[in-house]
Structure 1
Amino acid sequence: MHHPDPDRSGGDAARHAAGMTVRRSVLGSAHVDRAEANTTPFTEPFQDLITRYAWAEIWTRPGLDRQTRRCMVLTALTALGHWEELAMHVRAALRDGTPPEVLQEVFLQAAIYCGVPAANRAFALTQGILSEFGLATTSDPDTGEG
Structure 2
Amino acid sequence: MTTNEGLSDAERWEQGMTVRRQVLGDEHVDDSIANTTDFTADFQDFITRVAWGDLWSRHGLDRRSRSIAVITSLIAHGHHEELAMHFRAAMRNGLTVEEIKEVIIQSAVYSGVPAANTAFRVASEALADEF
TM-score bin, normalised by smaller chain: over 0.9
Do the aligned partners of 2:68 and 2:90 also contact (CA within 8 Å) in 1?
Answer: no
The alignment of Structure 1 onto Structure 2 pairs a total of residues equal to 130
Shift in Å, 1:125: 1.5
- Structure 1: segments with no counterpart, 5+ residues: 137-146
Q: Distance in 2 between matches of 1:117 and 1:27?
A: 26
- In the other structure, the counterpart of 2:8 is 11
Q: Distance in 1 between matches of 2:89 and 2:34?
A: 19
Cα distance 1:66–1:96, how it changes in 2: closer, same or farther (>3 A)?
A: closer
Q: Distance in 1 between matches of 2:7 and 2:86?
A: 29
Taking every aligned residue pair, what percent have the same amino acid on both sides? 52
Shift in Å, 1:94: 2.7
Is 1:58 paired with 2:27? no
Read off the aligned partner of 2:63 and give its amino acid letter.
R
Cα distance 1:63–1:97, how it changes in 2: closer, same or farther (>3 A)?
A: closer
TM-score in terms of structure 1 length: 0.83
Shift in Å, 1:95: 4.2
Shift in Å, 1:20: 0.2
Q: Which has the larger radius of gyration?
A: 1
Shift in Å, 1:36: 0.5
RMSD after superposition: 1.4
Q: Distance in 2 between matches of 1:13 and 1:125?
A: 35
Q: Deviations over 1:107-141 (max 9, x none)?
A: 0111111111101110121122232x1x33xxxxx
Q: Distance in 1 between matches of 2:7 and 2:62?
A: 24
Q: Which has the higher helix share?
A: 2
- In the other structure, the counterpart of 1:28 is 25
Shift in Å, 1:88: 1.0
Q: Distance in 1 between matches of 2:120 and 2:70?
A: 15
- Structure 2: segments with no counterpart, 5+ residues: none
Q: How does 1:88-127 map to 2 (within 5 A)?
A: 88-127=85-124
